[in-house]
């Protein structure tokens, strides 16, 4: 849809829903201590929704995992 109809208002909702699904997945990876998978899911969410308020808190959780910064 983004390629064929970039102005489609439905895209905003779809992007947010998909971003939240990626953030949920990242959170599950954090619970399982799978740092690289959590980072990958967080990055995917940020590509879709850079200003999502959940991202910062999740990044802090990821940073607290072993091997983090």
Average pLDDT of the chain?
A: 90
Question: Looking at residues 28-49, what average pLDDT do you find?
Answer: 97
Q: 3-state DSSP call for residue 9? A: coil
* Cβ contacts of 27-36, under 8 Å, gap ≥ 24: 27/58, 27/61, 30/58, 30/61, 30/62, 30/65, 33/65, 33/66, 35/62, 35/65, 35/66, 35/67, 35/68
Residue 39 confidence (pLDDT) above 90: yes
Angle in degrees, 0-180, between the axes of helices 10-31 and 54-63, rounded to the nearest 10: 20
């Amino acid at each position: 849809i983004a390629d064929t109809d970039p102005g489609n208002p439905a895209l905003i909702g779809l992007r947010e829903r998909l971003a939240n699904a990626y953030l949920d997945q990242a959170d599950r990876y954090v619970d399982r201590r799978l740092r690289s998978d959590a980072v990958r899911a967080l990055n995917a969410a940020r590509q879709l929704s850079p200003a999502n308020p959940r991202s910062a808190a999740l990044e802090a959780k990821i940073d607290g995992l072993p091997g983090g910064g």
